[in-house]
Amino acid sequence: MYDFNNLKKLSDIGELDPKTMEAFRLFDADALSDGAIPKKYKELMALAVALTTQCSYCLEAHRRAAKKAGATDEELAETVFIAAALRAGAALTHGTHLFLEK
């Protein structure tokens, strides 16, 4: 399903709705740019989200951006474990819904 050649089709989507595509590009660029939170940390957050949503496209795009912003392999590894902990924690806390109230 994840064929990176599919990303070439983004321009097709943009041609069909150029106004919205440009708005998305601007929003995305602004959201991930340096601000109160430095770009490197925003990219590491994006990687954690991509790991939990399991989006191969996002993983590669944000891995590249994180490395370009100065992220180390150690920071990438910690990001993996943060995402894993949150997924596991969500399963545990949602498991409480399986039991009737006492």
For the stretch 7-43, pLDDT in tens is: 889 999 999 999 999 999 999 999 999 999 999 999 9
Alpha helices (H) along 1-102: 10-16, 18-31, 39-53, 56-68, 73-94
Predicted pLDDT at 6: 86
Predicted pLDDT at 12: 94
Task: State yes or no: pLDDT of 102 exceeds 80.
Answer: no
Q: What is the pLDDT of residues 43-99, one digit of tens each?
A: 999 999 999 999 999 999 999 999 999 999 999 999 999 999 999 999 999 999 999
Q: Is residue 31 helix, strand or coil?
A: helix
List domains and CATH numbers for the chain. Answer: 4-98 (1.20.1290.10)
Q: What is the pLDDT of residues 44-57, one digit of tens each?
A: 999 999 999 999 99
Tokens representing 56 are 């191969």
The structure's pTM equals 0.85
Block residue for tokens 């994180």: 66
Q: Which of 75, 20, 84, 31 is nearest to 54 (CA)?
A: 84
- Angle subtended by helix axes 39-53 and 56-68, to nearest 10: 160
